[in-house]
């Protein structure tokens, strides 16, 4: 496996079958997510799977803006959040209860009774949200259930993650396209033979040949992906302005300063009384004209 296949998303189609697919492998971006927090190993597999899944979905669901996948459960892992944008940037985080003894690496046991929330938000603030139960006890099962119920498109997903890479393979039957149900069943059955080790180690061309060498598959140019957190001091300041000057002043009276920690990248932003006062100054264009 070469670096040329890391942090890229590939699209491909089965010619004349009405089936499309995507493959993603995240290396540097996955390492960047892991380095921001000291996640235990049993959190890494579900989080890496969620990050690979949201990457695949961002290319499947046509949108401009950001796509956020959130899993909320009552297990040891309370929530997983993974975000992708139409610019190919990714970020993710997990919150969890830390048990005294390490649990087994089982998504169903770790997430418990959970639901998956998909939120697409456009740059102008328009939002679309879909909510489904965590069918099958894992991320892949929940995504498949979402497409079955919300989009009515047969979709399959295979995910894997270790300490080095997070990968995913998606297949979807296209609506209104040529091809028979038997074609979809055949392709799906072939993909089901992939092993976790192969998913983690094979590059895209090897994987497609390994699974579908008797099919006519067209592979498109890859889309690069990278880790990037959207937090900034300016955005935090905007959030404080939204809270209101009176509320901010009360927090400063009690705490002396306001510190905000980004849960995605661990960046810390501190505002003292002078910083806060500057947030509420009128813009230069709003200042009254000076009397001559």
Domains of the chain and CATH, by start: 3-227 (3.55.30.10), 233-284 (3.90.1280.10)
Residue 224 has what pLDDT? 92
Is residue 104 helix, strand or coil?
Answer: coil
Q: Which helix (H) or strand (E) holds 187?
A: helix 181-191
Q: What is the pLDDT of residue 17?
A: 87
Cβ burial of 287 (10 Å; 0-12, 13-18, 19+) is exposed
Nearest CA to 21 out of 118, 196, 198, 154 is that of 154
Q: Which residue has the tokens 């297990």?
A: 75
- As given in the structure block, the two tokens for residue 222 are 């890859």
Q: What is the pLDDT of residue 216?
A: 92
Q: What is the pLDDT of residue 1?
A: 46
Q: What is the pLDDT along the chain (292 residues), one digit of tens a residue?
A: 445 568 999 999 998 888 999 999 999 999 988 888 888 888 888 899 999 999 999 887 777 788 999 988 888 888 889 999 888 899 998 888 877 776 776 666 788 788 888 888 887 778 888 888 876 678 888 888 888 887 678 899 999 999 999 999 999 988 765 557 888 999 999 999 999 999 999 999 999 999 999 999 999 999 999 887 766 678 777 778 888 888 878 888 887 777 877 777 666 777 777 777 788 777 654 444 433 3
Q: How far apart are CA 80 and CA 45, in angstroms?
A: 11
Are the beta carbons of 51 and 40 closer than 8 angstroms? Answer: no
- Cα–Cα distance between 104 and 70 in angstroms, integer? 22
- CA-closest candidate to residue 42, choices 109, 102, 93: 102
Residue 164: how many CB atoms within 10 A of its CB? 14
Confidence (pLDDT) at 290: 37
CA–CA separation, 165 vs 30, rounded Å? Answer: 6
| pTM of the model as a whole | 0.79
Give the Cα separation of 229 and 58 in Å (integer).
17
């Amino acid at each position: 496996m070469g670096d040329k296949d890391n942090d890229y998303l590939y699209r491909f189609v089965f010619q004349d079958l009405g089936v499309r697919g995507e493959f993603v492998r995240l290396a540097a971006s996955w390492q960047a997510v892991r380095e921001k927090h000291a996640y235990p190993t049993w959190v890494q597999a579900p989080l890496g799977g969620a990050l690979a899944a949201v990457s695949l979905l961002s290319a499947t669901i046509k949108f401009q803006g950001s796509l956020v996948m959130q899993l909320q459960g009552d297990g040891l892992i309370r929530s997983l959040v993974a975000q992708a944008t139409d610019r190919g940037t990714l970020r993710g985080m997990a919150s969890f209860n830390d048990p005294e003894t390490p649990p087994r690496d089982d998504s169903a046991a770790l997430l418990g009774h959970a639901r998956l929330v998909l939120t697409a938000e456009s740059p102008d603030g328009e939002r679309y949200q879909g909510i489904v139960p965590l069918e099958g006890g894992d991320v892949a099962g929940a995504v498949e259930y979402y497409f079955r119920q919300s989009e009515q498109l047969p979709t399959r997903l295979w995910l894997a993650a270790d300490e080095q890479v997070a990968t995913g393979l998606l297949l979807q039957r296209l609506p209104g396209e040529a091809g028979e149900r038997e074609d979809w069943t055949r392709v799906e059955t072939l993909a089901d033979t992939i092993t976790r080790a192969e998913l983690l180690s094979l590059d895209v061309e090897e994987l497609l040949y390994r699974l579908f060498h008797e099919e006519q598959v067209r592979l498109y140019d890859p889309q690069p992906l990278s880790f990037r957190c959207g937090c900034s001091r300016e955005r935090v300041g905007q959030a404080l302005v939204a809270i209101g000057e009176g509320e901010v002043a009360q927090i400063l009276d009690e705490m002396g300063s306001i510190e905000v920690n980004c849960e995605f990248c661990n960046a810390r932003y501190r505002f003292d009384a002078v910083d806060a006062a500057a947030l509420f100054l009128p813009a230069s264009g709003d200042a009254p004209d000076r009397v001559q």
